[in-house]
Amino acid sequence: MEVGERKYFPNLPFGEYRLKFLGAFICNESINYPISYNYHLSRISKTKTVLTGKLIQRIPFDDSLNLHISAAVLDNIGGWKSNAFIHRRPNACLSLKNIMGEAWIPFLQSFNESISGCPVKPGNYTLNGFDLSLLEKSNFPKQYFYGTYKLKIQATDKKDDPDSCLFIVSEVVRPWEYNV
């Protein structure tokens, strides 16, 4: 097996999936991050969940920052097992745009055109209901391991100090389990 090659184990619960979003919250409320989020989820219908809230930026979100995404998976006894997935990239704004794929423009439009793209200038922004089902058009892997994940999304400076941090909790479920 070569470095970077993915190896899938057929006995593990793995395959095409749908995402059920369970929560969104700041990593540590006692830290005054230069980019802070006050996001929450709103369930519009049985199958539609939107992300709403406030974004306060005292610094620009641009490519001088690094993007760090890591996931912890909920284990059988109710604890979080860290490092189930790790993604670290320079150029935070461009990297986030690439990960979001076709969902990037609708995400920006959820801010009522007050954010037009990279870089995102300092300011106070209101997120008015980004439909999270649009993330199915993102560049996420099309198959993944089923389970409950706590995604930690951080932007860090060149010294690796966090400038923002957001947790998103979601379930990766089989497509036919989505409406259950």
- Residue 113 is predicted with a pLDDT of 74
Of residues 177 and 80, more confidently modeled: 80
118 in any annotated domain: yes
Say what percent of the chain tops pLDDT 70.
93
Inform me whether the pLDDT recorded for 68 exceeds 70. yes
Question: Above pLDDT 90, what percent of the chain?
Answer: 78
Does residue 79 carry a pLDDT above 90?
A: yes
* Domain total in the chain: 1
Condensed to tens digits (0 to 9), the pLDDT of residues 6-40 reads 655 445 588 999 999 999 999 999 999 999 999 99
Quick check: is 138 in a domain? yes
Residue 20 lies in a domain: no
Question: Is residue 13 included in any domain, yes or no?
Answer: no
Is the confidence at residue 89, as pLDDT, over 80? Answer: yes
What single letter denotes the amino acid at residue 100?
M
CB 118 within 8 A of CB 63: yes
Predicted confidence band of residue 76 (pLDDT cuts 50, 70, 90):
confident
Confidence band of 170 (pLDDT split at 50, 70, 90): very high
Virtual torsion, Cα 56, 62, 64, 70, nearest 10 deg: 70
Handedness of CA 156, 29, 85, 129 (dihedral sign): negative
Please indicate, yes or no, if residue 12 is contained in any of the structural domains.
no
CATH value at residue 73: 2.70.220.10
Structural domain span for residue 112 = 27-175
In a domain, 128, yes or no: yes
Mean pLDDT of 135-162: 94
User: Residues 92-114: pLDDT tens digits?
Assistant: 999 999 999 999 999 999 998 77
Tokens of 103: 């969902």
CA distances from 50 to 11, 21, 98, 134, 145 (A): 34, 9, 21, 10, 24
Dmax (CA) for the chain in angstroms is 48
The answer, yes or no, to whether residue 70 has pLDDT greater than 90, is yes
